[in-house]
Amino acid sequence: MTDVKIRVLGTGAYVPQRIVSNDEVGAPAGVDDAWITRKTLIRQRRWAAGHEATSDLATAAGRAALQAAGIAPEQLTVIAVATSTPDRPQPPTAAYVQHHLGAAGTAAFDVNAVCAGTVFALSSVAGTLAHRGGYALVIGADVYSRILDPADRKTAILFGDGAGAMVVGTTARGPLVRRVALHTFGGLTDLIKVPAGGSRRPVDQAGLRDGLQYFTMDGREVRRFVMEQLPQLTKGFLHEAGVEAADISHFVPHQANGVMLDAVFEELHLPRATMHRTVETYGNTGAASIPITLDTAARAGAFRPGELILLAGFGGGMAASFALIEW
């Protein structure tokens, strides 16, 4: 990030109305509620209605964040939407959000770092704000229900739809974003992917027959990546930020899988931190999971002035991202 101080002025979130039970997603995948709960701690998730696309969820979350911040859409300098399930391959989903919000003239772009994307987007807008000042709307939004193979129990049971947002700005008030760090391990790109739909493999009849339009994940290797990389990356990040593990009061991770989060949290050794989770209620909402969870905790009054909050994202790429916020 730049030397310009970026502060969080407001957060917001939106999840669709439709509640989807473990029994509903488990039946096509050949598993039941007890199995899903034991493996993931997820009890339900939300799925978008037929008329809702990623930009609709993102717009609703953005409006909530703007309202919380007391900022009008026309005051925005930039909008960044982190998503791996855009409305269309092009134009960027952020352009639809800009239009829906009435933020004419605001720069708008997408960021795809899969489930680590919101912190990547936060880092991306910092440079723009350093040069132009003003305010940025950072949104994480995904509609994974549209790209899941219902018969694949490794993925179909995990994901929900949603959007989370934050308004940040170069102001003298609000929680301070003290540091951001981004990592990509490009040698592991096969662990999480949608095989068809891009220039490498366009969608065709053969691909549709083989299910190449669906999201795929090597769950065992993803878990290994998280358990091996996240603790050491977190330790390095905190060292570079000049803080000790005991200084962290709150931990807001990507909501990948509740069982895995418990194991990761134990390995991180953050002795005074509270881990915040929404995975039980909303499932894995991709890039939306960190801002949804941050907003949920903030609106519940969980954070006190001066406390340090650690955000940790991880996802396809493979990617990892961290942010340290002083509330």
Encode pLDDT of 211-256 as tens digits.
Answer: 999 999 999 999 999 999 999 999 999 999 999 999 999 999 999 9
Using CA atoms, how far apart are residues 121 and 176, in angstroms rounded to an integer? 16
| Statement to judge: residues 23 and 168 lie in one domain | yes
Strands 176-184 and 319-326: antiparallel
Burial class (CB in 10 A: 0-12, 13-18, 19+), 263: middle
Both 160 and 193 in one domain: the answer is: no
Mean pLDDT of all residues belonging to the chain? 96
Residues marked active site are found at 115, 254, 284
| Residue 287, domain member (yes or no) | yes
Co-location of 227 and 135 in the same domain:
no
Q: Which domain holds residue 263?
A: 178-326
79 shares its domain with 170: yes
Q: Please tell me whether residues 150 and 215 are part of one structural domain.
A: no
Stretch (H or E) spanning 311: strand 308-315
Is the residue at 240 inside a domain?
yes
Indicate whether 216 and 115 sit together in one domain.
Answer: no
Helix boundaries (H) for 79-168: 93-101, 117-132
- Number of domains, the chain: 2
Q: Quick check: is 78 in a domain?
A: yes
| In a shared domain, residues 26 and 163 | yes
Phi/psi class of residue 319: alpha, beta or left (left: φ > 0; alpha: ψ in -120 to 50)?
Answer: beta
Buried b (16+ CB within 10 A) or exposed e, 53-67: bbbbbbbbbbbbbbe
Residue 269 lies in a domain: yes
Q: Are residues 229 and 121 in the same domain?
A: no
pLDDT at 295: 98
Let me know if residue 1 belongs to a domain: no
User: What CATH number corresponds to the domain at position 154?
Assistant: 3.40.47.10
**Residue 282 burial by CB count (10 A; 0-12/13-18/19+): exposed, middle or buried?**
buried
Burial class (CB in 10 A: 0-12, 13-18, 19+), 172: exposed
**Identity of residue 112:** N
Shared-domain flag, residues 226 and 101 = no
pLDDT, position 172: 82
| Cβ atoms of 120 and 139 closer than 8 Å | no
Among 116, 150, 174, give the residue marking a domain's end.
Answer: 174
Angle, CA 62 vertex, CA 58 and CA 68 arms, to 5° = 150
* pLDDT tens digits, 84-94: 999 999 999 99
Regarding whether 263 and 144 lie in a shared domain, the answer is no
Last residue of a domain, one of 174, 199, 221: 174
At 10, which helix (H) or strand (E)? strand 6-14
Asked whether residue 207 falls in the same domain as residue 294, the answer is yes
| Domain finish residue from 156, 174, 192 | 174
pLDDT of residue 187: 97
Per-residue tokens: 210: 């083989």
Start-to-end Cα distance in the chain: 18
> Quick one: 183 and 317 in the same domain?
yes
Q: Which candidate, 230, 248, 247, places its Cα nearest to that of 310?
A: 248
CA distance 136 to 113: 19
pLDDT per residue of the chain (327 residues) written in tens, 0 to 9: 556 789 999 999 999 999 999 999 999 999 999 999 999 999 999 999 999 999 999 999 999 999 999 999 999 999 999 999 999 999 999 999 999 999 998 999 999 999 999 999 999 999 899 888 899 999 999 999 999 999 999 999 999 999 999 999 998 889 999 999 999 999 999 999 999 999 999 999 998 999 999 999 999 999 999 999 999 999 999 999 999 999 999 999 999 999 999 999 999 999 999 999 999 999 999 999 999 999 999 999 999 999 999 999 999 999 999 999 999
